[in-house]
Amino acid sequence: MLSAHSLTNPLGAFREALPAKGADDLARYGVVLGRRVRQARQFRHVGLPAGWTGRGDRFGVWTHVVDQYGRTRARVGWEPFDYPPAARTTVVEVWQYVLAAAEFAEPFAMDEVWATPQAVADALIERIRGLRQLISTDNRSIERWGDYWLGDHFGWASDQRRKRVAKLAANQALLTDAVAAGARLLGEGAV
């Protein structure tokens, strides 16, 4: 029989563990996967690369894994009160990281393995393209229906457009910084 404590702290003293579901995807980044945790079979022991660490705490389990630059590389989901309890490790892709860096103040750093200058630039260009399309749609909708086009909230469409324009500016600024940083990396021969 499971006790409330075993659900809210499934790993006990074992903190170097991640949900087994999805953890295999981290192996390509140097995470060493170990055996299943004996008292919590949905988890497996892991060895993180140098500088990587688990952060956050939700029911005795990390909420995310960060690399040596402070970038979120994986999100950890643990829902002990679902039936059956659900656990999952989700690897963060470069485009998700770039979005978080531009729009949610995630630490920004490029490297020669994962967030390469080319991968970052591609992700930013795609995000900028999408935001421009959304802003264009907002503009057409406001011209056609005014500021009430999606419900009766006064100013909703203008406010949504303002937020998207701010996100666009943040992404464009990060692209400028990324290009400059990428040029420095290329000049140093790191990439």
Q: Delimit the domains of the chain by residue range.
A: 4-92, 117-188
Q: What is the pLDDT of residue 7?
A: 42
Q: Residue 95: its pLDDT value, please?
A: 93
Q: Are strands 86-91 and 72-79 parallel, antiparallel or unpaired?
A: antiparallel
Is the pLDDT at 1 greater than 90? The verdict is no
Higher pLDDT, 30 or 10: 30
Instruction: Please say if the pLDDT value at position 51 is more than 90.
Output: yes
In the predicted structure, residue 145 carries a pLDDT above the cut 80: no
At 164 the pLDDT is: 87
Closest CA to 44 of 68, 26, 70, 28: 26
Residue-wise pLDDT for 79-92, tens only, equals 777 788 788 999 99
Beta pairing, strands 32-37 & 40-47: antiparallel
Tell me what the pLDDT averaged over the chain comes to.
Answer: 81
